[in-house]
Amino acid sequence: MMIKKNAFIKGTGSYVPPKILKNDFFEAIGSSDEWIYKNLGIKERRIAVGEVTSDLAYKAGLEALKEADLKPKDIDLIIVATSTPDRQAPSTACFVQEKMGAYQAVAFDISAVCSGGLYGIAIGCQFIETGMYQNVLIIGADTFSTITDWERKDSVFFGDGAGAILLSGTTEDKGFFDFKLHADGRGKYHFNIPAGGSEMPASEETLKQKLHYFQMNGKEVFNTATKVLPETITEILEANKLSADDVDWVIPHQPSIRILQETARKVNIPFEKVMTNMDKYANTSGGTIPIVLDETYKSGKIQPGNILLFAAVGSGWTWGTALYKA
């Protein structure tokens, strides 16, 4: 008889490139440090130079392995959540696997944009809970600087970075104990990259029109995020007979400070419990949740028995929550 295992966080890691781009860069397009920080919570972001997405993912993954006291040969599965893969094929996860020398590991990418880190965790947990794999490496990594039109005002939102989570199985009373994931394709055009896929293959015209850069409807992002995040947080807390007071720390995606503040207000969670790092890194898309988690663990805030609430919303629309007992 197989003993059911929970998936728990055995190690975390993160990596951001060294180049810093401060808010004063955007004065040329009519923005300002004061406006960006007040409305988005961003002071600066990191930009990859001479590094690709798999490089960032690889370095974050190695740190998570080190924290977990594991070797590349111990990994059963590598999942990379990214919207900025090294190439359309093969997967960025295969590049990471090769760089690590983890040749025995299964490797694949997922695409859920800013919800990618959370979706990846949910997928990894299923493999552990069914007993198929013991050690699963989840990496969220993006280099949004490569798909940013720096002449658009929404170029202020994103930065480059990667975070990694090593999930393992345990029979102890800890680990992830619920997920609520959602999607709604009716919002697909409010944040998208029009060209480069089969719908609109690359051409001289798509390059001229800058259709290979992301396009965002900021108002729709704000309105959707501040609607669905409180709803799904309430959904998962009620399903587990928990209240906002039972949550010790919120580990969210980093869309903007105003979105997180409004979400916390609606669900009555003190904002001091909401972990943020967008002031340093902006929105690193798939990398946000694992990077914030890594920083929170290393700060010493998370103690055994703490309840963590994960939350994310991204293009698609995609969104969801998770609960974790440390």
Q: Which residues are known to be catalytic?
A: 114, 253, 283
Residue 305 has which token pair? 């028995």
Is the link from the previous residue into 90 a cis peptide, with omega within 30 of 0? yes
Entry field: residues in the chain: 326
Question: Which residues, including other chains, have CB under 8 Å from residue 37's CB and lie 6 or more apart?
Answer: 23, 43, 279
Q: Which residues contact 268 (CB under 8 A, 6 or more apart)?
A: 244
HSE-up of 225 (CA within 13 Å, CB side)?
28
Q: Are 120 and 138 in contact (CB under 8 A)?
A: yes
Residue type (1 letter), 159: G
Amino acid at the residue 122:
A
What is the β-pairing status of strands 215-216 and 318-325? unpaired
Contact (Cβ atoms closer than 8 angstroms) between residue 80 and residue 93: yes
